[in-house]
Chains A and B, each alone.
Chain A
Amino acid sequence: MLKKRVGIEVSLAVAEAVKQARAQVISAYPITPQTHIVEELSTYVANGELDAEFIPVESEHSAMSAAVGAAAAGARVYTATSSQGLALMHEILFIASAQRLPIVMTVANRSLSGPISIWNDHSDIMAERDIGWVQLFVEDGQEATELTIAAFKIAEDHRVLLPVAVNMDGFILTHMIEPVIFPAQATVDKFLPPYKPALKLDPAKPVTMGPVGVPEVYLEAKKQCEQALLDSKAVVAEVLAEAGKTFERKYNLIETNGKKKAKTLFVTMGSLGESVWSAVEGLNEDGEDVGQVRIRLWRPFPVQEFKKACKGAKRLIVIDRAMSPGSVCGPVAQELKTIFYKDKDAPEIVNVIAGLGGRDVPVADFKEMYRLAKKGKLAKTYTLWGVDSNA
């Protein structure tokens, strides 16, 4: 059967995916560059295309609180946010995972103020690394569409029962018009059957959710959630493989591009990966020994899969999209330095923090990074790429 490709803004494609996933409750507050997603969903609900409860709350703190309540009542829940909105949700994000509620949220990644910035980087989600959610990063519109549907399947799996954040770069992905192939509704329904809660608020069978965790309980409660998150890796891999089969794509926890067994590897997460891919292709044509590793699953971090993808590499050029002020390098590089610590064949890790607050990083810049790294001219700690300095 010939599938229909449509040119569509990626935000609207994500809204369509949420509709196809038959979300039952959507609670959201608008924030650039996420707004188009929930705006479109509110239209679907208003015109009857989507049979869901749309809760237009007064803040993101309330958006996540309403999502927690609805998920506790056993509904399939979706929300989306960005930057300051994610920051305002902060305290409730931990509660969602602690109560094991399978909420799905798109984070349209955007820099945090100040100074005020609506443009793209990863500082919003990096400030929320430890919320106990499954965290995925997508690169393009097709992936954003399919992994939004897959996110519900991951979250609702009884071996997981945790919220899932699908990260997509604000503007440089959310506002792109890309060709997207939508699966048939019957295909989605087969892939994602209705949500069966393991535990829900039900007057006929009363339970208490979110009680006080006295010192005799708190530690065990945290351990339970951490273990669920660690164990979710296998389920994510399984669901991504099934999504790949269903939607005729290939989804792994970690992807690789470019020359096999290359000595130097770029490490990327999110849409800048596509620019790096172009740079790597160009460098390979020039005979350079370079490849690329893309991180799709950020939490739980797939340590073995990542190490396997880097086998034989002598140097990693890790592109971070956020700072970790006062630390030794950016957050992704910190993670990688930790996992390779004391490994005999550990690659050298050089860190470039690039594209902060929407600063453009064209393909040529990545080629330049490669050349500098090859000559050993990138800083041992990290390089704040492109910063204008008098020094």
Chain B
Amino acid sequence: MAKKSLCAWQDLALGAAILAPGSAAKLKTGDWRTLIPRLDEDKCIKCGMCELYCPEFCISEGKDGFFRPNFAYCKGCGICANECPKQAIAMVMEEK
């Protein structure tokens, strides 16, 4: 039988707790994505609403003042596109 578990039950922490902080960074949610957010720089007013609403906290402000996601974590949920006051983000099918 192929191994389908993370570890033996004896090796899990008490109550399946996670003992080391920051472990979410190890989970690369980028591979969940089917749609990808595409930014229209002409429409964007650099307000940062998308950064605030992104559930993966993966959007950050670049040197040019635009807010762009880290695609290792962007799961393609489309919340940024929904929240953008200028409809500057389009969710498009990603070619893989």
Task: Point out residues on A near B: beta carbons under 8 Å.
Answer: 98-101, 161, 198-199, 206-211, 213-217, 219-221, 223-225, 227
Contacts and interface: CB of A to CB of B under 8 A. Distances in A.
A207 B19 contact: yes
B14 A217 contact: no
Interface of B: 4-10, 12-19, 21, 23
B7 A220 contact: yes
Secondary structure of the B contact surface, majority rule: loop
Contacts of B18: 207-208, 211
Contact of A216 (B6, B8, B17, B21): B6
Q: Which 6 residue pairs across A and B have the least CB separation, nearest first?
A: A220-B9, A100-B15, A221-B16, A208-B18, A223-B9, A99-B15
A122 B85 CA distance: 58
A240 to B, nearest CB: 24
B6 A161 contact: no
B16 A216 contact: no
B4 A199 contact: no
Contact of A220 (B6, B17, B19, B21): B6
Nearest to A98: B15
Nearest to B21: A206
Contacts of B7: 220
Nearest to A226: B9
A216 B19 contact: no
A213 B15 contact: no
B12 A198 contact: no
B6 A209 contact: no
Contacts of A198: 14
B17 A209 contact: yes
B5 A199 contact: no
A221 B6 contact: no
Contacts of A215: 4
Contacts of B5: 216-217, 219-220
A356 B8 CA distance: 44
Nearest to A162: B15
